[in-house]
Structures are given as C-alpha cells and as structure tokens.
Amino acid sequence: MRKLVIATRKSRLALWQAQHIADLLKKSHSKVEIELLPLSTRGDELIDRRLDDAGGKGLFIKELEHAMAERRADLAVHSMKDLPAELPPGFALAAITQREDPRDVFVSRKYPSLGKMAKGSSIGTSSLRRQAQIGERHPGLEVRLLRGNVDTRLAKLDRGEYDAIVLAAAGLVRLGLAGRIAARLETDEMLPAPGQGALGIECLAERTEVTALLAPLADSATSACVRAERTVSRLLGGSCTLPLAAFAEIANDQLRLRALVASPDGRRVVRTECAGPLADPGGLGERAAQDLRRQGAEEILGL
C-alpha cells in the first residue's frame, strides 16, 4: 500500500493518539504515506449527558467505522477503554499498542488527594466506575457529572465548577499535562477501566493488507492484559452503563487479573482476583466473570 488514512476524533487527545500511531507506522513502513481524517462523533457532541443515557461507548466510534466501511479511511485509532467489548460485524481489532500508565489520577487546586477532601466537596467524573469506587470509600463527597474532552474538563475545574476531578493518567501524560496531577490513584484504591491506558487500532476484517502493516505495532504483553480485561466486560454486558472495573498485569510469567462490579452509589461491591497463563487471557477473563456472577454481579447490574 502506498497510502494509509487514519480516521480519528477531533479532540486534541484523539489527534495526538492518531499522530502517535502514524509516527509508529512511518518508522515501520517508511514508503507509506500516512494521512489523518479528523471526524466529529456523536459522543463528542453530547457533552451534557451521561454516555449510558445517550447510547454508550459506540457514540465515539460509529462515524469512524462509517468512514472505514466507505473506504474513506483504512483504520481508526481508539482509546481501548472507549471501545465497546463487541465490535460490529466486519470489523477487527488489528493491534493493541504498548500501554501508558493505566491508573486514574486526582486533579485539584484545593486538595492534595482524594482522602483529604472535605465532606460535601464536589468531585467531577462521567464514569459510573469511578463514581461507584469514590462512593464506596468516600461517601461524604458529592460526585457530579463531568463530560467533555480533557481540556474542557480541566477548564471547568479551573473555573471553580468542581473542587476536584478524576481523569485517566494516560490522557494527561500524552498531552504534556502531567503537571496537573495532584495524586495518582493506585489500583488498590481505584481499579481502572478495561483497556485503560492502551490504544487499539481497528480496521475492516477483510483488509488483510492493512492488518499486515499494523502487526509490528502490536505489544504482546499489553494485548494479553487488555484481552483478559475486555473478556470480563464482554461477558457482563460490555457497556459504559456498567460500574465495572478490570485490570490485568503480568507477574512471574502469569497474568494476574482483578475485577469488580458495583452499584453506582458504591454501596454494593463485589470483587475477584485470579491468575492464569499468558497464553489464555480469554480463559482468565471468563473465570473472573464467573466468580463475579457467583457473588451476585448480575443482580447488582440488573442483567
């Protein structure tokens, strides 16, 4: 192929991510021309409603998939935490690249950490997963809806609309905004979303020539971890309407997977932890999902 077109959302972070993949592709395939196709998505336009009320994670990718189906684009770059657990028929996840810091971070001008916030203080997030875990550990805080891209969320904080906000570390680091981080939330305190910190590259399943070009970008360790996490999500509904967290890491040549399901207010939480071979991330994810079900996950989630 002489040219590859990358479909991307228009936000500053999405454009950074797409350009990052473009740069990696140029290193592997110096003779291939790379072009970005920025698109506006429904998810970016709906900034005053929860995604679970508006239609879910798919709102961020439908326009990008449309462009690939019409051959206006050859691939699309996504934050893995924004990618639904089930892709539409005809599409494939061609590569998952090396993960950035998967943790959530606490951002505030008033407080040094989540645990130091005064009772009744407001904290912004659009994530039911974060809301639930904050509610479980810090029930005296007021969790309020916060939508928009990274820059929009930081601007709302700076205007005093919130006392603090919680964001993904990866987004701030990639945008050169790590200096805004007051505290990084360890995974024992705030378990991340499936795939958080990793980038995924999607293309049409039939485009084997594109898949071949993307192969050098795949990171095997990240892929194993993210596939285990996404299996948990897929088997328990796979949508952002679920207060669900899953995080896998490699230890002693095995995958260690932790996952939880919670009610949105954090009053009911079930957790699991298991380990298994690197070669079977899907099986490990299935075990975790089954254990969460045994503890009542389906009742909590209303499945």
Give pLDDT, residue 55.
44
Long-range (24+ apart) CB contacts under 8 A made by 206-209 are 206/90, 207/74, 209/1
Whether 217 shows a pLDDT value over 80: the answer reads yes
The reply to whether 3-99+198-218 and 104-185 are identical in fold is: yes
Confidence bin at 48 (pLDDT 50/70/90):
low
Mean pLDDT of 113-123: 97
Q: Give domain limits for the chain.
A: 3-99+198-218, 104-185, 231-291
- In one-letter notation, the amino acid at residue 142 is E
Q: Percent helix, strand, coil in the chain (nearest 5)?
A: 40, 25, 35
Q: Of 44, 74, 82, 163, which residue is the catalytic one?
A: 82
CATH fold label, 231-291? Double Stranded RNA Binding Domain (3.30.160)
Round to whole Å and give the CA distance between 166 and 267: 20
CA dihedral sign of residues 233, 235, 240, 245 = negative
Give pLDDT, residue 286.
98
Tell me whether strands 254-262 and 269-277 are parallel, antiparallel or unpaired. antiparallel
Helix (H) or strand (E) segment spanning residue 164: strand 164-168
Specify whether the backbone of 76 is left (phi greater than 0), alpha (psi in -120 to 50) or beta. Answer: beta
Whether 232 shows a pLDDT value over 60: the answer reads yes
Model confidence, pTM: 0.91
Give pLDDT, residue 56.
46
Whether 225 shows a pLDDT value over 80: the answer reads yes
Round to whole Å and give the CA distance between 231 and 135: 26
> What is the percent of the chain where pLDDT is above 90?
85
Whether 44 shows a pLDDT value over 70: the answer reads no
- The mean predicted confidence, pLDDT, of the chain is 93
For 16, half-sphere exposure in the C-beta direction (CA atoms, 13 angstrom radius) is: 14
77-96: pLDDT as tens digits:
999 998 998 999 999 999 99
239-270: pLDDT as tens digits:
656 799 999 999 999 999 999 999 999 999 99
Give pLDDT, residue 40.
85
Give pLDDT, residue 287.
98
The CATH class of the 3-99+198-218 domain is: alpha beta
CATH fold label, 104-185? D-Maltodextrin-Binding Protein; domain 2 (3.40.190)
Give pLDDT, residue 227.
97
C-beta separation of 33 from 27 below 8 A: no
Give pLDDT, residue 50.
47
Q: Which of 30, 31, 27, 24 is nearest to 75 (CA)?
A: 24
Whether 124 shows a pLDDT value over 60: the answer reads yes
Q: Angle 12-28/150-158 helices, nearest 10 degrees?
A: 140
Whether 54 shows a pLDDT value over 90: the answer reads no
Whether 235 shows a pLDDT value over 90: the answer reads yes
Confidence bin at 57 (pLDDT 50/70/90):
low
163 flagged as catalytic: no
Specify whether the backbone of 296 is left (phi greater than 0), alpha (psi in -120 to 50) or beta. Answer: left
